[in-house]
Structure 1
Amino acid sequence: MTLRLIAVHAHPDDESSKGAATYAHYVDAGAEVLIVSCTGGERGDLLNELVGRDPMSRRDLAGLRRNEMERARDIVGFRHTWLGYQDSGLPDEGESVTETSFANVPVDVSAEVLVRVVREFRPHVMITYNEQGGYPHPDHIRCHEISRRAWELSGDPEAYPDAGEPWEISKLYYEEIFNAKRVNTIYQWLMDNDPNSPIIEQFLEIREWMTRRPYSGTASVNVGRFFDKRDDALRAHASQVSPDSSFFFWPNELQREAWPFEDYRLAASRVETAEFEADLFEGIEESA
């Protein structure tokens, strides 16, 4: 049986910053992995000065981000599809998103599009964001909402009857990769083994921010040997990631020693599971 995993993300680059090592791990193990990008990322910020010199970044940012997504796909080896919605951007407090953007499309409408993808791909595991969207971006929250709806209804023959043959997903996970336990563990490893490291100051700042993201994971997948591939995929999204980002790019040898995992929370399951898991497909082959 070929195992299949679908991960639903709001924008291109989210798949590389939130799970690329996991996707590479499962592709390497022979599973099929499909990444869904709900929007084109066309309202995201341009975070790389060098890319900003490229006329395409001003003329066709959406096209540039499609090209970047293709490079990330080829690096990791997953399959990819777009839902085709417009990026909602991150409006200032009190402002609303544009009328035609993803966050303004009714959940039932977008969920049907995702259900169609699910029924065609027939995944055993779905990964998406938690109830807060991972962070409160309107597209991330809508991504959670339509993913949860697809989990609930993709196997129901009466729901969206024109969207393909019903398919019931076995397990639903929320990504919990950026969490306080991970940062605290890496920080403590540095203090114990390399207290004069120049990156300790960076971790002090990140630790303060991460205290607002307490650890709620129920699955840690050991994917340390794919961290370099993850970083290469993230750098492929050059318009959205500063090449010297201290938030994303920590020394991989340090991470492999202290925390070689990407973390997830089991949100729902239709198969028996352990209290804590090291494999997102745990329990699925036994139930087949």
Structure 2
Amino acid sequence: MAVHAHPDDESSKGAATCARYVSEGVEVLVVSCTGGERGSILNPKLADDPRVLRDITQVRRDEMAAAAAALGVQHQWLGFVDSGLPEGDPLPPLPEGCFALEPLHVPVEALVRVVRSFRPHVMTTYDENGGYPHPDHIMCHRVSVGAFEAAGDPEAFPAEGEPWQPLKLYYNTMSRGRISALHEHLLRERGESPYTEWMKRWEEREERPVTTRVPVAEFFEQRDAALLAHATQIDPDGFWFAAGRELESRVWPTEDFELARNLVGPVRPDEVEDDLFTGVREHLAGSSTASSTGRVA
């Protein structure tokens, strides 16, 4: 289960990983906490499109459906309202009734209901800074962690279904190593790079640990199709495709994650996983064996 703040986040963070696991027969559910109703139109080609201006909410729902189809994933809306990205100095207040201002227990309960229904073994979301400090991304982190911890507790939200405990929780990571490698290769091969400003901003950011690198180069095509499905948010001539799929596959063929919660046993600190399900299948096999012999797993 991949939990995201807005439609399009699932396509820019861990999309190829989702497509890979679908190809292996794993059921994958993307949960969008909000509908992205307050998102800006980031594709200049659609800035004046009458349909977009008339009903951005429905447009983004249609885009999300197309992206889910491109990745082969299931999808569910959590049902909260986009908070928008406040800008200015001082920052304006967030709009009343938005996701980021919800009492935490309300969206946690909603996500617990989905977790107990879908019964994932692995969840992914954002770190405590939201990946970047958008109020909905930070709230998505808090809600995801809260649901991970509450879903298996029979005393928490007892009306929301039978308890179910996911086994691992990961944070999506846009690692500095990846951006730096692409940046250096582009400078050498083309003499310019779209990541120059990123590299400057990264000097002010804490580097997150990368515990897991999932090889997914053969699924970059599906990721790109999902990105392009979000036509109001993604400029096909813009930043996301500047490196090119061939260079990206050659230089950095993985999507990277940070293991945040692990209930399947110790992980060696010097060992980088290549699979979000590392330890999970063995744990489940052991639980099955224990259950079949009458012992509690």
- Common fold, TM-score beyond 0.5? yes
Cα distance in 2 between the residues matched to 1:126 and 1:249: 30
- The percentage of aligned residue pairs carrying the same residue is 49
Does structure 1 residue 224 correspond to structure 2 residue 217? yes
Question: What residue is the counterpart of 2:93 in the other structure?
Answer: 96
Q: Please report how far the alpha carbon of residue 204 of structure 1 lies from its aligned counterpart in structure 2 after TM superposition.
A: 2.7
Cα deviation 1:58-107 (Å, max 9, x = unaligned): 11100000000010011110000001111000112431111111011111
C-alpha displacement of 1:214: 2.1
Task: Please state how far the C-alpha of 1:215 moved relative to its aligned partner.
Answer: 4.4
Take 2:123 and 2:264, find their aligned partners in 1: how far apart are those partners?
A: 14
Partner of residue 206, structure 1: 198
Q: 1:181 aligns with which of 154, 173, 177?
A: 177
Residue in structure 1 matched with residue 235 of structure 2 by the alignment: 242
Q: Distance in 1 between matches of 2:79 and 2:241?
A: 27
1:181·1:214 contact (CA, 8 Å) conserved in 2? no
State the TM-score, normalizing by the size of structure 2: 0.90
- Aligned partner of 1:3 in structure 2 is none
Alignment of 1:152-171 (within 5 A): 152-171=149-168
**Structure 2 stretches of 5 or more lacking a match?**
285-297
Q: 1:264 aligns with which of 238, 254, 257?
A: 257
Residue number among 121, 124, 138 corresponding to 2:121 in the alignment? 124
SS of the residue corresponding to residue 190 of structure 2 reads coil
TM-score, normalising length: structure 1: 0.92
Which runs of 4 or more aligned residues in structure 1 lie more than 4 Å from their structure 2 counterparts after TM superposition?
Answer: none
Deviation at 1:54, TM superposition (A): 2.5
The equivalent position to 2:112 in structure 1, one of 90, 96, 115, is 115
Q: Do residues 35 (structure 1) and 30 (structure 2) align?
A: yes
Q: Does residue 72 of the first structure (1) align with residue 67 of the second (2)?
A: yes
Query: Residue 133 of structure 1 aligns to a residue in which SS?
Result: coil
User: Is contact 1:118–1:167 with CA below 8 Å preserved after alignment?
Assistant: yes
Distance 2:19 2:129 in 1: 26
CA RMSD of aligned residues (A): 1.4
Q: Would you say the 8 A contact 1:231–1:249 is kept in 2?
A: no
Q: Distance in 2 between matches of 1:145 and 1:255?
A: 32
Partner SS state of residue 195, structure 2 = helix
Checking the alignment, whether the CA contact within 8 Å between 2:111 and 2:144 is kept in structure 1 is yes
Gaps of 5+ in 1: 1-5
